[in-house]
Structure formats: C-alpha cells, structure tokens
C-alpha cells in the first residue's frame, strides 16, 4: 500500500487526479491539504469536499491551507477552470466539516505518524508544504517521496511565457521546497512532472464517449463530462483542439508507483525569483553520474502516454459503476 497525502488547489484536473487515486486499491489517501491556486482557497475546500462526497470517500481528512502565496499577491485562474474551479460541474455542497488543523499541521502530523512512509503529492502551488517545512524542517527526511506537478523544463510555460502555473503562483514556496533537498542525501528528491510532459497526456471527448458506452450515465461520468467539458472548450479556444491535458493526474499515477515507463532525469533545479519576464521559471542543470548525488530533483522526461490514458480510463470506469 502506498500512503499518499495530497496537496491540491482543486480545479478540474486535480479533481480528475482524485478520481484516479480513489480508484486505486493499493493507495491509502491519508488526507488532503487545500491551497489557493486555480481558485481561492474557500472554493478549493468546497470543491474538494464535494468531489469526495461524489466519490463516496467521506472519511478522508480535508484541511484548509494557505489563502495567499508566501510573498506575492494572489490571482485565480478562472478562465481555465471556471468560476467555481470545476468547469460546468455544479456539485452539491458538502455537509461534512473540515479537519480542524491547518494544512501545514496536516502535513506534519501525517509524516510524524508514519515516518518514511508517506508520499506527498502536490498538484497546486507549494505554499502549504513550504509552511510545513518552516514548522518541521525534518519534513523531507520524514517523507518517503514527493511528487509535484510543476515546472516547464523546456521553458514554454502556460502563464507569463516561461513559467508553469503552480510555480508561478508561489515561486518562493517552490524554491524553499527544492532548497530543502539541496546537497542532502535523503534517499529521495522531489519528482517534478512539468508541462513538457503533462501536455502530452491528452484526454479527448472521444475518451469520455467511450466511457459512457462502457458504463452508461452515472453521477461520476456526468461530473467528468461537465468538468472536463469546460477544459475541452478552453483548450479548443487556446490551442485549437478540444483536449484536456492531464497535468495533475499524471503526477498522481507516478505518486501511486505505477509503471508507465517514466524516464526521470536528475537535475539541480533553480526557481527564477527575480527575472523581469521570467519569474517562476524552472531552470534545470542536468546532472549525471556521480553528479546526480547532489541533485535536488528528478524531472520526468518521458512517459508512455497510452499507458497513462489506459490506467486513467480504467479508474474512471471503476468509479463510474
Ligand atoms: C497546473 O495548474 C493548474 O491549472 C492545474 O490544475 C495544474 O495543477 C498546470 O500548470
Ligand atoms: Ca492543480
């Protein structure tokens, strides 16, 4: 069993990642930390609880986290994920209460309760984990692993030209987390799934048609249609094709330990904090051989896209029955 703590800014693809994770019998989702990102943190909390209710996972602790990045002001990405953050989906508000702890406390309690066992999965800005690091500097060594959807290693960003959204929202937090791994030998470094790779994992309306043929209509398949329909339309306008890049779901597949023929490359990754036009850019210095020991990240350079889509559709099918 893989114990995963998810830290998300629950928008459309974060929700899809949740669908995937909850379909995995060998994944124990120990909690979800919410952060401002795609939408404000209150929306993120609402979305997270509502999606968990939809999926029948009402016993997973959900903690409210950062409302603002560490240093800079915050602005949401309404156009990408819709005003609520879940596209056209309108889920009933949950009556469940939040965990009383802050997101940073959730991180710390989880790793202290299960030292060396928790895989952190971050699918939003890294604010909460940076705050947790401030309170518990041993966080990296208490984790078993850390997988982050973040970065653009060929420097084609999805915001401001060169940056990727999760890093762009809180570059200082991302830098702080990567710095915590610099020059240490902890047996793991953060695995970074950047846009270069996630933008190749494209779900299309045909995949959802196929799902409907297999399972018929169900609350989950309807949710996927409504949420991803908005993503399809957004990308149809932006890139001329109705596709949904599965950014966060890819990171979830990797965190769950699935073999999707991922190729990782060690790098020392710097976050550009002062660039006039490049703030939030991820700058890798690729290392190999003995140099790899000093790296602070493993960057995902390749995956078997069909294998990722196949495990995703299997999870959708499972959760739609
Ligand atoms: C990332 O930003 C968000 O819009 C997505 O949910 C994903 O985590 C992609 O840049
Ligand atoms: Ca996200």
DSSP letters, 205-221, are: HHHHHHHHHHH-S-HHH
**Nearest atom in ligand 1 to 80's CA:** 4
Q: Is 149 in the pocket of ligand 1 (CB under 6 A)?
A: yes
Distance 261 CA to ligand 2 centre (A): 23
Distance 248 CA to ligand 1 centre (A): 7
**Nearest atom in ligand 1 to 8's CA:** 8
Token code pair at residue 131: 């705050």
**Nearest atom in ligand 1 to 38's CA:** 4
Distance 208 CA to ligand 1 centre (A): 21
Q: What per-residue confidence (pLDDT) applies to 76?
A: 85
Mind telling me the catalytic residues? 247
**Nearest atom in ligand 1 to 165's CA:** 10
Q: Which residues contact 169 (CB under 8 A, 6 or more apart)?
A: 9, 36, 37, 69, 74, 124, 125, 127
Q: What per-residue confidence (pLDDT) applies to 176?
A: 98
For residue 80, which ligand has an atom nearest its CA? 1
Strands 263-271 and 282-286: antiparallel
C-alpha–C-alpha distance, residues 152 and 147, integer Å: 15
**Nearest atom in ligand 1 to 164's CA:** 10
Strands 297-302 and 202-203: unpaired
Distance 276 CA to ligand 2 centre (A): 25
pLDDT per residue as tens, the chain (321 positions):
999 999 999 999 999 999 999 999 999 999 999 999 999 999 999 999 999 999 999 999 999 999 999 999 998 887 889 989 999 999 999 999 999 999 999 999 999 999 999 999 999 999 999 999 999 999 999 999 999 999 999 989 999 899 999 999 999 999 999 999 998 889 999 999 999 999 999 999 999 999 999 999 999 999 999 999 999 999 999 999 999 999 999 999 999 999 999 999 999 999 999 999 999 999 999 998 877 888 999 999 999 999 999 999 999 999 998
ipTM beyond 0.85? Answer: yes
Q: Is 199 in the pocket of ligand 1 (CB under 6 A)?
A: no
Distance 171 CA to ligand 1 centre (A): 14
Q: Is 13 in the pocket of ligand 1 (CB under 6 A)?
A: yes
Residues 37/128, Cβ–Cβ less than 8 Å: no
Distance 289 CA to ligand 1 centre (A): 32
Q: Is 14 in the pocket of ligand 1 (CB under 6 A)?
A: yes
Q: What is the pTM of this model?
A: 0.98
Token code pair at residue 129: 């984990």
Closest protein CA for atom 4 of ligand 1? 38
Q: Would you tell me how many other CB atoms lie within 10 Å of the CB of residue 294?
A: 14
Token code pair at residue 300: 């995902």
C-alpha–C-alpha distance, residues 268 and 272, integer Å: 13
Q: Is 80 in the pocket of ligand 1 (CB under 6 A)?
A: yes
Q: Is 48 in the pocket of ligand 1 (CB under 6 A)?
A: no
Pocket test of ligand 1: the residue of 51, 82, 165, 280 to mutate, having most ligand atoms within 8 Å of its CB, is: 165
């Amino acid at each position: 069993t893989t114990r995963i703590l998810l830290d998300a800014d629950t928008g459309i693809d974060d929700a899809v990642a949740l669908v995937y994770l909850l379909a995995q019998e060998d994944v124990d989702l120990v909690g979800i930390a919410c952060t401002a990102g795609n939408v404000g943190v209150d929306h993120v909390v609402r979305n997270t609880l509502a999606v968990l209710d939809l999926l029948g996972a009402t016993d997973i602790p959900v903690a409210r986290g950062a409302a603002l990045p560490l240093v800079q002001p915050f602005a949401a990405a309404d156009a990408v994920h819709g005003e609520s953050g879940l596209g056209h989906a309108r889920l009933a508000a949950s009556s469940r209460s939040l965990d009383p702890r802050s997101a940073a406390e959730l991180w710390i309690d989880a790793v202290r309760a299960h030292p060396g066992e928790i895989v952190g999965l971050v699918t939003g800005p890294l604010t909460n984990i940076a705050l947790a690091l401030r309170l518990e500097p041993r966080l990296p060594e208490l984790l078993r692993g850390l997988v982050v959807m973040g970065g653009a290693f060929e420097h084609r960003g999805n915001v401001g030209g060169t940056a990727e959204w999760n890093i762009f929202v809180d570059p200082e937090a991302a830098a702080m987390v990567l710095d915590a791994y610099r020059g240490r030998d902890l047996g793991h470094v953060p695995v970074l799934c950047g846009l270069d790779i996630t933008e190749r994992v494209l779900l299309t309306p045909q995949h959802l048609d196929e799902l409907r043929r297999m399972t018929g209509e169900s609350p989950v398949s309807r949710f996927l249609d409504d949420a991803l329909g908005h993503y399809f339309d957004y990308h149809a306008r932006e890139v001329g094709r109705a596709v949904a890049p599965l950014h966060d779901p890819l990171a979830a597949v990797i965190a769950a330990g699935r073999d999707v023929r991922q190729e990782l490359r060690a790098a020392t990754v710097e976050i550009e904090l002062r660039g006039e036009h490049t703030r939030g850019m991820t700058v890798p210095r690729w290392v190999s051989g003995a140099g790899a020991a000093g790296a602070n990240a493993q960057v995902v350079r390749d995956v078997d896209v069909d294998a990722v889509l196949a495990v995703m559709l299997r999870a959708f099918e499972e959760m739609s029955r």
